[in-house]
Amino acid sequence: MPHRTETDSRKLLRRLRDEMALANPGQERLDRITTIITESMGVDVCSIYLFRDVDTLELCATEGLKPESVHQTRLRLGEGLVGKVARFARPVNTANAPAERGFRYMPETGEEVFTSFLGVPIQRLGERLGVLVVQAKDPRLYTDDEIYGLEVVAMVIAEMTELGAFTGEGTSFATPHQNPAMLRGVTAQEGEAEGQVWLHQPRVVITNLVNDDSRAELLRLEAAVETLRVSIDQLLASAGTRDKDHMEVLQTYRMFAHSRGWMKRMEEDIRLGLSAEAAVEKEQSTARARLERVPDAYIRDRLHDLDDLSNRLLRILTGQGNETGAEMPERPILVARNIGPGELLEYGRKLRGVVLEEGAVGSHATIVARALAIPLVINVPRITTEALNGDHILVDGTEGVVHLRPDDTISSAFRDKMAMQAKAQERYASLRDKPAQARCGTTVSLKMNAGLLADLPSLPNSGADAVGLFRTELQFLVQDRMPKRSDLVANYARVLDAAAQRKVYFRTLDIGSDKVMPYMNRPDEPNPAMGWRALRVGLDKPGVLRMQLQALIRAANGRALSVMFPLVATASEFTQARDTLLREIERERRMGHTLPEKLEIGAMLETPSLAYAPKSFFEAVDFISIGGNDLKQFFFAADRENELVRKRYDTLNVSFLTFLQVIVDRCHETGTDLSFCGEDAGRPVDALALAGIGIASLSMRPASIGPVKSLIRRANLIEVSELIARVQARGLESARPALLDYVAMLVD
C-alpha cells in the first residue's frame, strides 16, 4: 500500500462524494464505496461492518472477501479484531492478524489468505456506528499517515450512515430517526407525559463533507477559530473573578482554542480533503470516544469542555445557532445532554417533561423539575443523537423509560395509563378538603415541599395543610451573583403572601455537595455529600447566614416565622445556629423593625448522630424534620447519586424503621413536633408505614398528597403499627411485603 498523499486522499474523498450523489440503492452504494477504497488505497480487501444493534456488528459490504458472507457474518461487540476496534473505539493495526490476541477466524469470509489488517472505528460524536477495515496479503504495518487517512474516510462514512445513505431494500437497516426506540434511564421526577421533542441544543447538520479547495477551507477554519478566541476573551473579561468554576471553564476553553495540536489535527483533516466543519466534527468524535475511556473525573470534565468548544466552533462555521427558526411544539418535551437550573426555569411550565442524557438525581435541574412538577428522566443513553425536533415522545418518569417515535400499540397503552391516573387524580381532588384521618381516628398532617414561588398557587388545590419545606437555595443557584438582601426579603414575603394562612417552614441555605453556587469558591472534596455543605457552610460563612436570616425576619413582617437548619449533626451546631437567629431578632428589634408574632426554630435530622443527641437538644428545638433522602444514604452508607447502590436499600427495611422509631420515641418523650420530609413520604405505602410508627406529619411533592391521603383514610394505623411490630418480632428484613398484602385487602 503506497504512502498516502494529500492529492490521493482528496481524490478518494471526492470519488466517495460523487458516488453518494448518485441515486443508487443503499447496498449498491456500500458495495461501490468498498470498491473505490480498495482501488484508491491499493489494498486487497476493504470491508464495512455496521451495528445491527448495540451489541452486534454485521458485515454489510466487502471488496475482496467472499460476497456470500455479506449480511451473514456477524460479530459481538469485542469479538475478534473488528469487535475490538468497535469496543475500544481505537484503530487496530497489525502485520500478522492471525497471530494477534483476540483474532477470530471466520471461514465463511475467505480471509485466511490476508495477513495484514487495519481497522478504524466508524463513529460520530461518541456514537459507535461500525468499523472500516482494509486488509492485504503481504504482512506489513500501516503507517501513521495511512491510519490517519483511513480515519478521515471513516468519518465521511459515519456522516453518510447518519444521513441514512445506506438504508433500503436488501440492506436490512432502517433509515435513522424513523423507527421506534425505547430508551431506559433513571427516574429523577415521577410522572408521565406525551408530546414532541424540543432539543435544547439542536445538532449542527453538516451537508458539505468534502472540500473542493483546501486552501479556502483552511482560511474558513482560521477565521472561525479567531472569532471563537475573541468571543472567549470577551467572556473572560466580562466574567470578572467572582465565579471561580466558571472562570476555570473559560480558561480551559481558551487553552483549547489556542491549542496548536487541536488546530494542527483539523488542518491536516482539511488537507486530506474534509471540509472545515467536517474536520471539526471528526476531532469532536475522537474526543467523545476518549471521554468514554477516561476514568478520571477531572480529565472527563476537560474533554467535555473540548466537546462544548467544538460545538461553538461548528455553529460559527455553519451559522447554525440555537435559534433554528423552528417553533416550539404545543406539548414540548425538552431533550438535552444536560441543562442548568436557570435555563430550565426559563422554559418554565410550558414544558411537559424533560429527558437528559446526563444528570444526577440531586442535580439543580432535578430540583427545578420537581418544583415545576414535570416528569424528568436522566442518564438516557443516545437520546440527543436519536431524537429530532418534533419527534413523538412518551416519557414515563415513574419507570425511567422513554419511548421515541412509539408505534400505535405503545401509544395507546401509554394513554390508557395516563387516563387511569387522571381518573385517580379526579378522585383525589374530591378529598382535597378532607383530613388525612385513618379509620382508627388518627389524623396525619400532609404538607407540601416547594422551592419556587410558582409552586405556591398549587397549595390550596393540593390538599396540603402547610408548606413543610421551602427550599431557599434555588434563588441563590439560578443567579450568577449573590442575591441582594432586599431581593430575598421580597421573595420570601411573596411566598408568605401566597401561602395565606398556611404555615411555611423555611429551610436555610442548603448548598454544597451537588448544589453549588456558581459564584462561590468550591473546595476540592473527595466526598462532597459528607463534606462542607448545608449548615456547615452557614456557620463557617456567618455573613451569608445572617443576611438570609435578616431577610426572613423582615419578610415575616409581624407574621409567624418557622425556620429550620439543614444537616445538623450535633446539638452544638444547632445551638450556634439558633443563637445566630436570636441575635438577629434582637438586632432587628433595636433597629425598630417589626418582629415575627411567633418564631419557631427547628432542625433537619439528616444524620444518625443527631438522633442520639442529649435530651436537652430535643427540649431546646421547637420541631424536628427528618430529611429522609440524606438520612437514608448516611444510614445505609449508600450514595443516593450512585445508581449502583442507591436502589439496594429500602425505607421499609426493618433496621431503618427501628431507627426511625428511636427518633419518634425521643420526640414523644420531650413533646417535640416531628415530621418526615423526602421522596419516601410521597410514596403511599411508605407514607403509611411512617404514619404507622408514629410520625404524624409528612411533607412531599404536591402531586403525592392525594394518593397518600387516599390510602391513609382507608387504613387503620393501629393495625399498621401492629403489623410492623410482628414483622420485627419475626426477624424479617423488610416490612414491605406484609404492608403490600395489607394494602391489597383495603377497600374504598
pLDDT in tens, 518-560: 556 666 666 766 777 778 888 888 888 999 999 999 999 999 9
Cell 374530591 belongs to residue: 430
Please check whether residue 508 is in contact with residue 472, taking contact to mean a CB–CB distance below 8 angstroms.
Answer: yes
Check pLDDT > 60 for residue 202.
yes
Classified as helix, coil or strand, 423 is helix
Confidence of residue 739 (pLDDT cuts 50, 70, 90): very high
Hey, what amino acid is at 521? N
Number of structural domains (the chain) is 4
Cell 486552501 belongs to residue: 215
Distance CA 560, CA 601 (A): 11
pLDDT winner (highest mean) among 348-362, 367-381, 437-451: 437-451
Please check whether residue 203 is in contact with residue 357, taking contact to mean a CB–CB distance below 8 angstroms.
Answer: no
Confidence of residue 301 (pLDDT cuts 50, 70, 90): low
Check pLDDT > 80 for residue 581.
yes
Classified as helix, coil or strand, 230 is helix
626 class by beta-carbon count within 10 Å (0-12 exposed, 13-18 middle, 19+ buried): buried
Higher pLDDT, 521 or 44: 44
Distance CA 290, CA 455 (A): 42
Separation of first and last alpha carbons in the chain: 80
Please check whether residue 198 is in contact with residue 389, taking contact to mean a CB–CB distance below 8 angstroms.
Answer: yes
Please check whether residue 375 is in contact with residue 185, taking contact to mean a CB–CB distance below 8 angstroms.
Answer: no
Hey, what amino acid is at 212? D
Q: How many Cβ atoms sit within 10 Å of the Cβ of residue 568?
A: 30
The answer on 187 and 151 residing in a single domain is no
Give the helix/strand (H/E) hosting 450: strand 443-450
Mean pLDDT of 447-454: 80
Instruction: Give the model's pLDDT for residue 363.
Output: 65
Query: What is the tens place of the pLDDT at every residue in 87-130?
Result: 988 899 999 999 888 888 888 998 888 999 999 999 877 678 89
Query: What is the tens place of the pLDDT at every residue in 468-479?
Result: 999 888 777 666
Classified as helix, coil or strand, 143 is coil
Sheet arrangement for strand 74-76? 74-76, 56-63, 45-53, 127-136, 116-124, 92-94
Three cell numbers written together for 563: 425556620
Please check whether residue 152 is in contact with residue 9, taking contact to mean a CB–CB distance below 8 angstroms.
Answer: yes
Confidence of residue 175 (pLDDT cuts 50, 70, 90): low
The answer on 447 and 390 residing in a single domain is no
Instruction: Give the model's pLDDT for residue 388.
Output: 84
Please check whether residue 159 is in contact with residue 206, taking contact to mean a CB–CB distance below 8 angstroms.
Answer: yes
The answer on 513 and 598 residing in a single domain is yes
Check pLDDT > 80 for residue 41.
yes
Asked if the structure places residue 2 within a domain, the reply is no
Higher pLDDT, 534 or 252: 534
The CA-based angle 149-152-156, given to 5 degrees, is 140
Looking at 318, 337, 355, the residue that finishes a domain is 318
Find the range with the poorest average confidence among 233-237, 426-430, 563-567.
Answer: 233-237
Cell 455496521 belongs to residue: 50
Query: What is the tens place of the pLDDT at every residue in 610-627?
Result: 999 999 999 999 999 999
Please check whether residue 470 is in contact with residue 506, taking contact to mean a CB–CB distance below 8 angstroms.
Answer: yes
Asked if the structure places residue 649 within a domain, the reply is yes
Residue 173's nearest CA partner among 130, 123, 124, 120 is 130
Confidence of residue 54 (pLDDT cuts 50, 70, 90): confident
Q: What is the mean pLDDT of the chain?
A: 84
Strand partners, 92: 119
Please check whether residue 574 is in contact with residue 508, taking contact to mean a CB–CB distance below 8 angstroms.
Answer: no
Convert 313-333 to b/e letters by CB count within 10 Å (16 or more is b).
Answer: bbbbbbebeeeeeeeebebbb
Residue 641's nearest CA partner among 398, 402, 379, 401 is 379
Instruction: Give the model's pLDDT for residue 432.
Output: 86
The alpha carbons of the chain give a radius of gyration, in whole angstroms, of 31
Q: What is the 3-state secondary structure (H, E, C) of 273-332?
A: CECHHHHHHHHHHHHHHHHHHCCCHHHHHHHHHHHHHHHHHHHHHHCCCCCCCCCCCCCE
Confidence of residue 2 (pLDDT cuts 50, 70, 90): very low
The answer on 281 and 245 residing in a single domain is yes
Instruction: Give the model's pLDDT for residue 4.
Output: 47
Asked if the structure places residue 331 within a domain, the reply is yes
Q: How far is CA 693 from the centre of its chain?
A: 35
Please check whether residue 589 is in contact with residue 549, taking contact to mean a CB–CB distance below 8 angstroms.
Answer: no
The answer on 354 and 286 residing in a single domain is no
Residue 141 CB contacts under 8 Å (≥ 6 apart), including other chains: 93, 94, 95, 116
Please check whether residue 92 is in contact with residue 119, taking contact to mean a CB–CB distance below 8 angstroms.
Answer: yes
Three cell numbers written together for 450: 416547594
Distance CA 563, CA 470 (A): 10
Report the residue count for the chain.
748
Give the helix/strand (H/E) hosting 632: helix 628-635
Q: What is the CATH number of the domain that holds 131?
A: 3.30.450.40
The answer on 193 and 132 residing in a single domain is no
Residue 387 CB contacts under 8 Å (≥ 6 apart), including other chains: 177, 197, 199, 335, 355, 393, 404
Residue 46's nearest CA partner among 146, 134, 157 is 134
The answer on 331 and 242 residing in a single domain is no
User: Which 8-state DSSP code applies to residue 149?
Assistant: H
pTM for the complete prediction?
Answer: 0.68
Cell 434511564 belongs to residue: 185
Q: How many Cβ atoms sit within 10 Å of the Cβ of residue 344?
A: 26
The answer on 720 and 625 residing in a single domain is yes
Asked if the structure places residue 741 within a domain, the reply is yes
DSSP structure string for 694-716: T--EEEE-HHHHHHHHHHHHHS-
Asked if the structure places residue 169 within a domain, the reply is no
The answer on 486 and 452 residing in a single domain is yes
Query: What is the tens place of the pLDDT at every residue in 384-412?
Result: 878 888 899 999 988 889 999 988 888 88
DSSP structure string for 72-111: T-EEETTSHHHHHHHHHTS-EEES-GGGSTT----GGGTG
The answer on 470 and 389 residing in a single domain is no
Classified as helix, coil or strand, 187 is strand
Higher pLDDT, 455 or 324: 455
Query: What is the tens place of the pLDDT at every residue in 261-284?
Result: 888 889 988 988 888 988 888 888
Distance CA 124, CA 133 (A): 17
Dihedral sign computed on CA atoms, order 137, 141, 142, 143: negative
Q: What is the CATH number of the domain that holds 226?
A: 1.10.274.10
Hey, what amino acid is at 618? F
DSSP structure string for 649-666: --TTBHHHHHHHHHHHHH
Please check whether residue 257 is in contact with residue 309, taking contact to mean a CB–CB distance below 8 angstroms.
Answer: yes
741 class by beta-carbon count within 10 Å (0-12 exposed, 13-18 middle, 19+ buried): exposed
Distance CA 431, CA 714 (A): 12
Find the range with the poorest average confidence among 30-34, 372-376, 395-399.
Answer: 372-376
Please check whether residue 551 is in contact with residue 593, taking contact to mean a CB–CB distance below 8 angstroms.
Answer: no
The answer on 728 and 616 residing in a single domain is yes
Instruction: Give the model's pLDDT for residue 626.
Output: 97
Query: What is the tens place of the pLDDT at every residue in 481-528?
Result: 778 889 899 989 988 988 888 899 999 988 765 555 555 666 666 676
Asked if the structure places residue 690 within a domain, the reply is yes
Looking at 318, 345, 367, the residue that finishes a domain is 318
The answer on 302 and 272 residing in a single domain is yes
Residue % of the chain over a pLDDT of 70:
86
Please check whether residue 630 is in contact with residue 584, taking contact to mean a CB–CB distance below 8 angstroms.
Answer: no
Asked if the structure places residue 144 within a domain, the reply is yes
591 class by beta-carbon count within 10 Å (0-12 exposed, 13-18 middle, 19+ buried): exposed
Instruction: Give the model's pLDDT for residue 672.
Output: 97
Give the helix/strand (H/E) hosting 616: helix 615-620
Residue-range definition of the domain harbouring residue 361: 181-202+326-408
**For the range 299-306, what are the long-range contacts, defined as Cβ-Cβ under 8 Å and sequence gap of 24 or more?**
302/252, 305/249, 305/252, 305/253, 305/256, 306/256, 306/262
Convert 76-97 to b/e letters by CB count within 10 Å (16 or more is b).
Answer: ebebbbbbbbbeebbbbbbbeb
Looking at 390, 408, 426, the residue that finishes a domain is 408
Asked if the structure places residue 606 within a domain, the reply is yes
Check pLDDT > 60 for residue 3.
no
Convert 14-51 to b/e letters by CB count within 10 Å (16 or more is b).
Answer: ebbbebbeeeeebbbbbbbbbbbbbebbebbbbbbbbb
| C-alpha torsion angle, residues 341, 679, 399, 430 (rounded to 10) | -100
Give the helix/strand (H/E) hosting 675: strand 673-677
Distance CA 424, CA 708 (A): 12
Please check whether residue 687 is in contact with residue 434, taking contact to mean a CB–CB distance below 8 angstroms.
Answer: no
Confidence of residue 586 (pLDDT cuts 50, 70, 90): very high
Q: What is the CATH number of the domain that holds 185?
A: 3.50.30.10
